[in-house]
Amino acid sequence: MAESRVPHASLPPPASTIGVVGWLRRNLFSSPLNIVLTLLAVYLLFVTLPPLLRWAFLDASWRGDDREACRSGGACWVFIRVHFEQFMYGFYPDGQRWRVNAAVLLLILGAAPLFMRAVSSKFKIRLGLGLLIGYPFVAFALLKGGMIGLPVVDTSQWGGLLLTLVIAGVGMTAALPLGVLLALGRRSRMPAIQTLCVTFIEFWRGVPLITVLFMSSVMLPLFLPVGMNFDKLLRALIGVTLFQGAYMAEVVRGGLQAIPKGQFEAAAALGLGYWKTMGLIVLPQALKLVIPGIVNTFIALFKDTSLVLIIGLFDLMNIVHNATTNPAWLGFSTEGYVFAALVYWLFCFGMSRYSQNLEKHLHTGHKR
Amino acid sequence: MAEHAPAPVKPPFWNDPQIRAILFQAIALVVTVAFGLYVFDNTQANLRRLGIASGFGFLSSPSGFDIIQSLIPYSPTSSYGRVFWVALLNTLLVSALGIVLATALGFVIGIARLSKNWLISRLALAYIETFRNIPLLLQIFFWYFAVLRVMPAPGQSLDLGKIVFPKLGLEEIAFLNIRGLYLPAPEFQTGFGWVLAAFGIAVALTVLLARWARRRQKATGQQFPLFSVSLALLLGLPLLTFWLAGSPLAWQVPKLQGFNFQGGLVVIPEMASLLLALTLYTATFIAEIVRAGIQAVSHGQTEASLSLGLSSSLTLRLIILPQALRVIIPPLTNQYLNLTKNSSLAAAIGYPDLVSAFAGTVLNQTGQAIECIAITMAVYLTISLLISLMMNWYNRRVALVER
Amino acid sequence: MNPLKTFTTAAILLLTASGVAQAGATLDAIKKNGFIKCGVSDGLPGFSFADEKGNYNGIDVDVCRAVAAALFGDPAKVKFTPLTAKERLTALQSGEIDVLSRNTTWTSSRDSAQGMNFTGVTYYDGQGFLVNKKLGVKSAKQLDGATVCVQAGTTTELNLSDYFRANKMKLTPITYDKSDESAKSLEAGRCDVLTSDQSQLYAQRIKLAKPGEYIVLPEVISKEPLGPVVRHGDDDWFDIVKWTLFVMVNAEELGVNSKNVEEMKKSTNPDVKRLLGVEGDKGKDFGLATDWMAVVIKQVGNYGEIFERNVGQGSPLKIQRGLNALWNQGGLQYAPPVR
């Protein structure tokens, strides 16, 4: 029997999975639900973005010296320009502001080798430690003055971004070691030490930072002998450090708990004492594990510096807030807050990106 | 004859780890106690020197000031102790609402972040990265001093019923202006008790039904459409009673009288901006926690579930979420704690919470700084301990699923 | 360590604590530091206002400068701490500042239970209301149901409630920590009325974008004697602050001002001679320089000068002397004699 073999009409080619069309299909229009979501999202962007861009750029005023320049209906960036110096330096005297710039420049120059691939890691560690210990003193001497012919600039005149960075910088440098010590204490086998550390950590984690700052700023002298007093800034620094130190302790504890027991036993078998075991074996591994957590705490600390507004320190946040109440510039709150938000955002986002890079860089293949 | 090893030299006592441990602890304790006594002693001396009256007697004297928002009856003749409760309830109200809203938004954004839809996941990412990296205080100021300030004056209020649901006969009942959001307030009349009772019965029935359905499913494998039946029960029974009892509910509608709207429910802008900022800020963290939690469930689980023929929504509900929750809950607890503590930033915009009204106004009117701050801190510590305990309990329950 | 526990026990045990004065601690500390820690307000034109460089001026600021002039012969030896109404009393109690010169109302409970001493009255004031003209309100009695902005932790807050209660009116108060925030809220329409001491209302008004659109209602609902405050128990320090104030008032009464003080030293009036340290040593009694009163007048000025320069005709506020004129000119300012 003859069998006629009529070939089946060829099927249409499969939908393109490459190129723009394929990408669109895969990522935006893969199912009815996705199509709806995509359309919704596009609509949302269409409604919000153009007016936003028009406000921020197209209709915005950039030139001029007073509010008369801001009649276009868009954002008044003149407000920021006029107050820019104040936002950066606070009430730091005009003629002395080069000292702030010098301190920042010094830090950037000093820290630059740390970010270079070509520099040996041994040198990096030495430099890093040196900076960590030495820089605060140099910077303090430069900013506060009172020696080598620099006039004294009292800490109450420090302000703006400068103050924010000082609080954040000191807070970070002090909170990490404090956190490590507290975490070690919490994991300690000595019951008294453990209880003390747990109480300390839970106390600071349980109360709001603003009550801590209020206490440190106006009530502290009540707890001290007559006549004994510290600088207001120093007290805010101590408050912020203790508060974030407790959070840091919990992060570090997570890392410590993740180190397998074998590591401790191996260290003990090698005859290492407690501090050597911790310093050489456990902490390097534990801290590496919790880099994201540490950086998150740093970011939280950076954002928390804005709370010193409540105790009357003129950090970036307070100085912007203050400028928006300036009678000559009323009605430009949005611009002020957007500017401040942008500055905070740049620092925080930068930190989180850097931590992601660091994590990748330090990844030694032990991660499972 | 075997040679005896020389007896090990006993280490000097300061090198004996046990003695050292005791020594360390003793030193730590002594230092702590000494520090505590030192502070205590100084405080006592200072207070005595300044002639500041101390103690908690002030809590029963009349306050003499008004508070803009109070959940319990309050007037200037009420005591400072009453102010404490008013302030505490305000804190709890904004925290509780914040927790609910932030959790809902956080889960949606967290899941959106994992969406296969590129645009959606990017939008979620943009939202997270923006709001997470800006200080909360700044966000509160932004909403309060910049955004809510463009609202119209009471005379030009936006009539929400007219704008949102045009032509439904809902005009003139809900308004939005710079003084807040005014909504009609329910007024319960006699007979409403029956509706509540019906609701109670419906809840009880639902619980029984759920037990029965579970037992039946275990025995026979048959599923019962529990969700839709319970929903019908929970809504239907009270509604039916409501209708039978002759609709014992009236609405008190806000009316513009003089300077402000009177009557109705009002959400003041201070609370609205605080809530908005707390929700938007905390939701970013919750979204990241949810994302991490879902990603922690291995892909094999999804594949196994799909190969068993479960739909993708059932997979999410029955397989992924229960496992992800175990990873999600501990950090979620921390976020709830943070939100509660962050609600204290209310002080910056005049929302009468615990820190603003009690540790602020009362402290100032009475001068009892130590007492007020101690009480405030104790309250926050208690709240944080309670939330921790509750979450630990829940965590343990969820964790038991593991075999 | 658990600070909370410490505080609570401290608080409870202190129920039985009794007041024992210990003099001199503050004065000694000030002399050792070489400057006075002065608490001022966080921005109220005419009373205490920091310009863009962080330099303070105002009537409250000048009081602290005068005390510094009395103590150190140099009005610049003051460190100003801006405080919100909420922080001020705690800051003084704790020793964070030595003297509080920040429109603080003299009341019985502050003078007694809260451990303070008021050194005198720099400004006799009363509480008033600032409203937008557009509301058409002519009297405070028409404010039933109004939303009122008020500063947290002040006597103003208490008077406000009393006034509305007494007149059976409904009140919606919004309390802010900072006066700037109240002004901003009034401007935005968050509140109908801003209430504060009248002097402050004038100061707040010039901070608004359109001051002309706002009026101060005629009612004055309270007595607000404002003055510098020190801690209870530092009698020597208390005396110096108190008498610095009296010296300035006496100087105005005797016609001595910062410009003619050297000339007046040749005066034959025995009162002037005593005031300027030409006759008798009025410094020894206070532990100060012989001519300290003259130094205060020369470097800071007499009361009238301070008033006119900061809040009076020489300032944008243009407040009339009114109650703050000298007693022999129809006002209340009266100082005990230097003798």
pLDDT digits (tens, 9 = 90+) for C254-274: 999 999 999 999 999 999 999
Q: Tell me the angle at which helices B269-296 and B80-113 cross, rounded to the nearest 10 degrees.
A: 40
Q: Mean pLDDT across the stretch A82-94?
A: 85
Residues A175 and A34 in one domain: no
Domain contains B34: no
User: Looking at the complex, does the CB of residue B61 fall below 8 Å from at least one CB of chain C?
Assistant: no
Interface with chain C: mutation pick from B54, B90, B268, highest number of C CBs within 10 Å:
B54
Residues A37 and A84 in one domain: no
Query: Lowest-confidence range among B54-63, B243-252, C145-154, C234-243?
Result: B243-252
User: Looking at the complex, does the CB of residue C160 fall below 8 Å from at least one CB of chain B?
Assistant: yes
Q: Mean pLDDT over all residues of chain B?
A: 86
Residues C100 and C230 in one domain: yes
Which of B25, B137, B142 is nearest residue A306 as measured by Cβ atoms? Answer: B137
Ramachandran angles phi, psi of C194, nearest 5°? -115, 130
Residues A31 and A83 in one domain: no
pLDDT of residue C24: 63
**Res. B50 pLDDT band, cuts 50 70 90:** confident
For the sheet with C193-197, list strands across it: C172-176, C147-151, C193-197, C127-132, C214-216
Instruction: State the residue range of the domain holding B337.
Output: 80-155+268-399
pLDDT of residue A363: 66
- Distance, in angstroms, between B238 CA and closest chain A CA? 35
Which of B120, B373, B381 is nearest residue A203 as measured by Cβ atoms? Answer: B381
Residue C34 has pLDDT above 50, yes or no: yes
C-beta atoms of A227 and C28 within 8 A: yes
- Cβ proximity of A163 and A313 under 8 Å: yes
Percent of chain C exceeding pLDDT 70 equals: 92
Residue C20 has pLDDT above 50, yes or no: no
C-beta atoms of A227 and C1 within 8 A: no
C-beta atoms of C173 and B44 within 8 A: no
Structure tokens at C250: 């006496």
Percent of chain A exceeding pLDDT 90 equals: 19
Exposed (0-12), middle (13-18) or buried (19+): which is B129, by Cβ within 10 Å? middle
User: Looking at the complex, does the CB of residue A76 fall below 8 Å from at least one CB of chain C?
Assistant: no
Residues C115 and C231 in one domain: yes
User: Looking at the complex, does the CB of residue B378 fall below 8 Å from at least one CB of chain C?
Assistant: yes
Size of interface B-C (CB pairs under 8 A): 174
With CA atoms as reference, the chain A residue closest to B148 would be A334
Number of domains in chain A: 2
- Picking from C245, C246, C256, the residue whose alpha carbon sits closest to that of residue C335 is C246
C-beta atoms of B119 and A324 within 8 A: no
Residues C33 and C118 in one domain: yes
Query: Lowest-confidence range among A280-284, B135-139, B371-375, C87-91?
Result: C87-91
Tokens 């040749």, residue located: C266
Instruction: State the residue range of the domain holding A353.
Output: 79-92+153-362
Residues A229 and A188 in one domain: yes
C-beta atoms of B384 and A206 within 8 A: yes
- Distance, in angstroms, between A323 CA and closest chain B CA? 13
Look up the CATH number of the domain holding residue C186.
3.40.190.10
- Distance, in angstroms, between B241 CA and closest chain C CA? 38
Q: Mean pLDDT across the stretch A156-161?
A: 85
Angle at A358 between CA A353 and CA A360, to 5 degrees: 100
Q: Tell me the angle at which helices A32-53 and B118-132 cross, rounded to the nearest 10 degrees.
A: 40
Domain contains C334: no
Residues C137 and C209 in one domain: yes
Integer Cα distance of A58 and A61 in angstroms:
9
Q: Mean pLDDT across the stretch B317-342?
A: 87
Number of domains in chain B: 1
Integer Cα distance of B299 and B8 in angstroms:
58
Structure-model confidence comparison of residues B258 and A213, the more confident one:
A213
pTM for this predicted structure: 0.84
Q: Strand ranges (DSSP E) for chain C?
A: 36-41, 49-50, 56-57, 78-83, 99-100, 116-118, 123-125, 127-132, 147-151, 172-176, 193-197, 214-216, 224-226, 229-231
Which residues in A lie closer than 8 A to residue B376 (C-beta atoms)? 211
C-beta atoms of B116 and A30 within 8 A: yes
C-beta atoms of C90 and A220 within 8 A: no
- Distance, in angstroms, between C7 CA and closest chain A CA? 9
Look up the CATH number of the domain holding residue B383.
1.10.3720.10
Which residues in B lie closer than 8 A to residue C164 (C-beta atoms)? 66
- C-beta pairs of C138-143 under 8 Å, 24+ apart in sequence: C138/C217, C139/C217, C139/C218, C139/C219, C140/C217, C140/C218, C140/C219, C140/C221, C141/C167, C141/C169, C141/C219, C143/B259, C143/C169, C143/C192, C143/C193
Interface with chain B: mutation pick from C7, C108, C111, highest number of B CBs within 10 Å:
C7
**Res. C71 pLDDT band, cuts 50 70 90:** very high
Domain contains A353: yes
- Distance, in angstroms, between A325 CA and closest chain C CA? 6
* Strand, coil or helix: A160: helix
Residues A208 and A60 in one domain: no
Domain contains C30: yes
- Distance, in angstroms, between C334 CA and closest chain A CA? 34
**Res. C14 pLDDT band, cuts 50 70 90:** very low
Which of A210, A225, A344 is nearest residue B138 as measured by Cβ atoms? Answer: A344
Residues A36 and A85 in one domain: no
User: Looking at the complex, does the CB of residue A230 fall below 8 Å from at least one CB of chain C?
Assistant: no
Residues A313 and A347 in one domain: yes
Q: Residue B10: CB partners within 8 Å, gap ≥ 6?
A: none
Interface with chain B: mutation pick from A31, A308, A345, highest number of B CBs within 10 Å:
A345
Residues A223 and A336 in one domain: yes
**Res. A245 pLDDT band, cuts 50 70 90:** very high
Residues C216 and C80 in one domain: no
Residues A51 and A84 in one domain: no
- Distance, in angstroms, between B356 CA and closest chain C CA? 9
Structure tokens at C301: 């000025």
Query: Lowest-confidence range among A91-95, A101-105, B115-119, C65-69?
Result: A91-95
Angle at B46 between CA B369 and CA C224, to 5 degrees: 55
C-beta atoms of C4 and A203 within 8 A: yes
- Distance, in angstroms, between C282 CA and closest chain B CA? 28
B225's torsion region: left (phi>0), alpha (psi -120 to 50) or beta? beta
Ramachandran angles phi, psi of B250, nearest 5°? -120, 160
Query: Lowest-confidence range among A63-72, B313-322, C94-103?
Result: A63-72
User: Looking at the complex, does the CB of residue B399 fall below 8 Å from at least one CB of chain A?
Assistant: no
Residues C119 and C37 in one domain: yes
pLDDT in tens, A208-244: 999 999 888 878 878 887 666 677 788 889 899 999 9
Integer Cα distance of B318 and B305 in angstroms:
9
Q: How far is CA A106 from CA A101, A131, A170, B324, in A?
A: 8, 10, 16, 47
User: Looking at the complex, does the CB of residue B344 fall below 8 Å from at least one CB of chain A?
Assistant: yes
Residues A59 and A173 in one domain: no
Residues A59 and A178 in one domain: no
**Res. A175 pLDDT band, cuts 50 70 90:** very high
Domain contains C242: no
Domain contains A145: no
- Distance, in angstroms, between B200 CA and closest chain C CA? 37
Domain contains B284: yes
Structure-model confidence comparison of residues A29 and B142, the more confident one:
B142
Number of domains in chain C: 3
Q: Mean pLDDT across the stretch B303-316?
A: 88
- Picking from B369, B98, B386, the residue whose alpha carbon sits closest to that of residue A206 is B386
pLDDT in tens, B150-195: 888 888 888 887 777 777 777 778 888 888 888 888 887 777 888 8
With CA atoms as reference, the chain C residue closest to A213 would be C87
Half-sphere exposure of A264 (CA within 13 A, CB side): 9
Which residues in B lie closer than 8 A to residue A268 (C-beta atoms)? none
pLDDT of residue B3: 58
Domain contains B51: no
Structure-model confidence comparison of residues A116 and A351, the more confident one:
A351
pLDDT in tens, C327-338: 999 999 999 999
Structure-model confidence comparison of residues C221 and A10, the more confident one:
C221
Q: Mean pLDDT across the stretch C41-66?
A: 85
Which residues in B lie closer than 8 A to residue A206 (C-beta atoms)? 337, 377, 380-381, 384-385
Integer Cα distance of A263 and A259 in angstroms:
7
Residues C212 and C132 in one domain: yes
What are residue C105's DSSP bridge partners?
A: C226
**Residues A125-156: b if buried by 16+ CB within 10 A, e if exposed:** eebeeebeeebeeebeebbbbeeeeeeebebb
pLDDT in tens, B193-202: 888 888 999 9
Chains contacting C (3 or more CB pairs within 8 Å): A, B
Interface with chain A: mutation pick from B27, B133, B288, B382, highest number of A CBs within 10 Å:
B133
Which of A42, A203, A211 is nearest residue B376 as measured by Cβ atoms? Answer: A211
Which residues in B lie closer than 8 A to residue C229 (C-beta atoms)? none
Q: How far is CA A249 from CA A186, A242, A253, B272, in A?
A: 8, 10, 6, 34
- Distance, in angstroms, between C138 CA and closest chain B CA? 14
Q: Mean pLDDT across the stretch B357-385?
A: 89
User: Looking at the complex, does the CB of residue B28 fall below 8 Å from at least one CB of chain C?
Assistant: no
Residue A301 has pLDDT above 60, yes or no: yes
Ramachandran angles phi, psi of A191, nearest 5°? -60, -40
Domain contains C330: no
Q: Mean pLDDT across the stretch C95-111?
A: 89
With CA atoms as reference, the chain A residue closest to B340 would be A208
Domain contains A245: yes
- Distance, in angstroms, between B50 CA and closest chain C CA? 5
C-alpha torsion sign, points B14, B20, B22, B23: positive
Residues C107 and C231 in one domain: yes
Query: Lowest-confidence range among B164-168, B319-323, C28-32?
Result: B164-168
Other C-beta atoms closer than 10 Å to the C-beta of C91 total 24
* Strand, coil or helix: C287: coil
Residues C231 and C213 in one domain: no
Domain contains C9: no
Element at B39 (helix H, strand E): helix B17-50
**Res. B4 pLDDT band, cuts 50 70 90:** low
Residues C28 and C117 in one domain: yes
Integer Cα distance of A158 and A168 in angstroms:
14
Residues A56 and A160 in one domain: no
Other C-beta atoms closer than 10 Å to the C-beta of A44 total 12
Query: Could you say which residues from 187 to 226 on chain C have a Cβ atom under 8 Å away from some Cβ of chain B?
Result: 188-190, 192
Domain contains B199: no
C-beta atoms of C89 and B364 within 8 A: yes
Domain contains B209: no
Query: Could you say which residues from 276 to 305 on chain B have a Cβ atom under 8 Å away from some Cβ of chain A?
Result: none
Name the most confidently modeled range: A102-106, A240-244, B20-24, B155-159: A240-244
Residue A105, amino acid: L
Instruction: State the residue range of the domain holding C320.
Output: 251-324
